[in-house]
Structure 1
């Protein structure tokens, strides 16, 4: 490793608490490896955001570093008690899991809102699980503003039901499932000391209070690394803590080895709307913005699964080879098929979808609770109708083996690699095209998004586009929404500086 001056300062630090703001492609992993090598006598714990990052890190760090996810720590201590019970440990919980235990509360709720009520109870539990709080309380109550909720949902009953269901989740004999975030919460409450002198906390912009509490309970030196602008997992309860961490020393990694100044400038223009003074520098080979070259391998990055379904159908039609990042089952085409079967009278395997009488009822539920995935599945079924089963079958049979990382491009490779912005996190590709399903940063009246009025969800939508752009190494084809935005940015840059601040 030949570290840059930015990296050298971090590697040499002896601070008890160190915070590093690391931009996309700026070599944070190599920096942390250098930091570990500079502290060879210390037992070091590297906390990875997910399994794939943990696996990659384990192959790069020296022997004094243990790479693990927080869920893996919790599973060894608490989670295996539930994992050893058939069907007890599950990845998610839906209203049908708890509905029969809510009978008394549902007695005064319209039948059409029963699913919604169950969803609110589950949301309340999930809000507690990702918090650092010791018990489910009023601050976790999830309730919306729909008329049926204002008129028929009692927050006190939602809280009481959530507390009762959480108790059933902890009971290994109960059929109510335990979630992965559930045993992580139980582990946090135990406040277990860890036998490490240094903790390297990576991707910390996507952590949550429960994970932060686990680290806070340790006496070790701590190195927090993250990029506020890549915080895209709020829907999982993540909460960017980078800005709130009190550190003895703070550093930035701004030089990206992934791309040249052209891609870096697009990324910086996106950050301009957030009024952030962090500036990426493109240290990689020259990159270009525009339509991708013909007949070359490329990555197609979307906001959601509908655009990927469309692109896969297009690839089938043009006989272009295609592959997905990760297991194709992760894109839940099986649930698209279930929504199709709900619509046309076929067998619905998913119990949650089966609990609805029609696609109209499912769509109404999705709108009420603003479930993006369910809404997307309803839309794709409406678009393709009875062709859905055939298309899914053809996509699954013709998809090439899944992509598990940033694979090098070989001569003659024409594949299009399909992924969402979330699944693209941590990856990089020679050529990248963004789908047109990202949130527009310019409204119908031609006005830029006002960051002072933007919601947390709006900020995350900006971040997802920043993540997508910064996956590109060589060529980047922007979506129409970003092209419109960049035209406005160019106009503002040519105007007086005061107009730039008006963004």
Structure 2
């Protein structure tokens, strides 16, 4: 079997080799074997093209293609979110991702281990600062480990931000051999290099130093003190999607630093579809991988909720009117749609309710009931079915 991003497997063994290993040679070796060969992979989890990884499934001649659509990791609720990303963002409308029989939660529930998955190391660092600064500090585990995350490099970059004489008098030598090249020119030269080479990881670490300045040593010490080596001992797991690929967690909080999807409708919808087409495929794959790490609960960002709205999912359901037409003081219930000043019509037999939803940043949409006019916006001519027919 050959994973779809085979060159990335070899990069773990040859991290300092710029070519890593000849993918063509590896494929030729496997193909030359006189036996049946099975290539297994998910092209929608290809997130390392920036390192030269390629999709082996598209390179090798084959005789049969079989699609594995059933997931046993999560139920239909989480599967629906993943499938919607593929449909809206990548135009995949067949071979739909299906969930198992166990139920899941996508509106704010939490169970078991909670993992906060981000697009960038910047957000991971911000999470670490927040959790380690609580009273008492939360126990955190950075997925992949602190050293792989690069706290020591952040510390070295902070040293470069100091005047050369201060570094010398304080005996603050730069430990990283690569960063040591900038001991004389300093941080400004390193920043220029990061911009010209488009090294986003380095740019992110420089931005962290720019933001926190002299607090860096204190924050790094605080993060190290709050970090636990075993994830089973942590209150929160934090990390990037790149580090979490291949893993699974009871609850996943999707950070709001992925591709931003604004709330759009009407005339803006076509413009939004054009913007989706122009977004690099890896960005949608990152969001898809983040969502499909969840086993039981998924806390979505507001941007991800907006993406579901593009597919027509607005978390609405129809209920019997009952006592919903009046609040506890007997006054009419106001419509929950932002900007609407109307109230529910007590003559209706049914009423449309927006279910409450808690986002990954802990902001909460309380939901509520929709008036007839707002119901029409979502249901069109079907809105008449929610009213009793008039008797002539």
Q: TM-score range by the shorter chain?
A: 0.5 to 0.7
Partner SS state of residue 225, structure 1: coil
Equivalent pair of 1:274/1:451 in contact (CA under 8 Å): no
**Matches of residues 90-239 of structure 1 in structure 2 within 5 Å?**
91-92=15-16, 126=18, 129=19, 181=20, 184-185=21-22, 208-239=23-54
Q: Deviations over 1:326-363 (max 9, x none)?
A: 33211011111111111124432223223232323222
1:328 aligns with 2:146: yes
Q: 1:491 to 1:418 in 2, by over 3 A?
A: closer
Q: Deviations over 1:198-245 (max 9, x none)?
A: xxxxxxxxxx54543442343332100001100111122111132343
1:450 aligns with 2:274: yes
1:464 aligns with 2:286: yes
Distance in 1 (alpha carbons) for counterparts of 2:77 and 2:203: 36
1:299 aligns with 2:115: yes
1:341 aligns with 2:159: yes
**Matches of residues 1-150 of structure 1 in structure 2 within 5 Å?**
91-92=15-16, 126=18, 129=19
Partner SS state of residue 339, structure 1: helix
1:479 aligns with 2:301: yes
Partner SS state of residue 256, structure 1: coil
Partner SS state of residue 271, structure 1: helix
1:418 aligns with 2:238: yes
Equivalent pair of 1:429/1:471 in contact (CA under 8 Å): yes
1:379 aligns with 2:199: no
1:362 to 172, 178, 190: 190
Q: 1:330 to 1:269 in 2, by over 3 A?
A: same
1:288 to 88, 96, 105: 105
Equivalent pair of 2:117/2:240 in contact (CA under 8 Å): yes
Q: Deviations over 1:172-194 (max 9, x none)?
A: xxxxxxxxx1xx34xxxxxxxxx
Q: 1:278 to 1:50 in 2, by over 3 A?
A: closer
* Aligned-residue offset at 1:263: 0.5
Matching residue of 1:353 = 179
Q: 1:334 to 1:325 in 2, by over 3 A?
A: same
Partner SS state of residue 366, structure 1: helix
Kindly tell me the number of residue pairs found equivalent between the two proteins: 299
Q: Which moved more, 1:338-347 or 1:247-256?
A: 338-347
* Aligned-residue offset at 1:380: 0.8
Q: Deviations over 1:270-297 (max 9, x none)?
A: 0012011231111141111133449x53
Equivalent pair of 1:47/1:70 in contact (CA under 8 Å): no
Distance in 2 (alpha carbons) for counterparts of 1:92 and 1:449: 40
* Aligned-residue offset at 1:442: 4.7
Partner SS state of residue 247, structure 1: coil
CA RMSD of aligned residues (A): 3.2
Q: In terms of Rg, which structure is larger?
A: 2
1:395 aligns with 2:212: no
Equivalent pair of 1:256/1:284 in contact (CA under 8 Å): no
* Aligned-residue offset at 1:449: 5.3
Q: TM-score, normalised by structure 1?
A: 0.54
Distance in 1 (alpha carbons) for counterparts of 2:86 and 2:275: 11
Distance in 2 (alpha carbons) for counterparts of 1:386 and 1:289: 40
Partner SS state of residue 202, structure 2: helix
Distance in 2 (alpha carbons) for counterparts of 1:467 and 1:222: 26
Q: TM-score, normalised by structure 2?
A: 0.68
Matching residue of 2:336 = none
Q: 1:240 to 1:450 in 2, by over 3 A?
A: farther
Equivalent pair of 1:327/1:402 in contact (CA under 8 Å): no
Distance in 1 (alpha carbons) for counterparts of 2:59 and 2:4: 19
Q: Which moved more, 1:420-429 or 1:475-484?
A: 475-484
Q: 1:297 to 1:378 in 2, by over 3 A?
A: same
Q: Deviations over 1:414-439 (max 9, x none)?
A: 61011210111111111110122212
In the alignment, structure 1 segments of 5+ residues that lack a partner are 1-45, 54-68, 76-89, 94-125, 130-180, 186-207, 408-412, 497-503
- Give the helix-richer structure, 1 or 2: 1
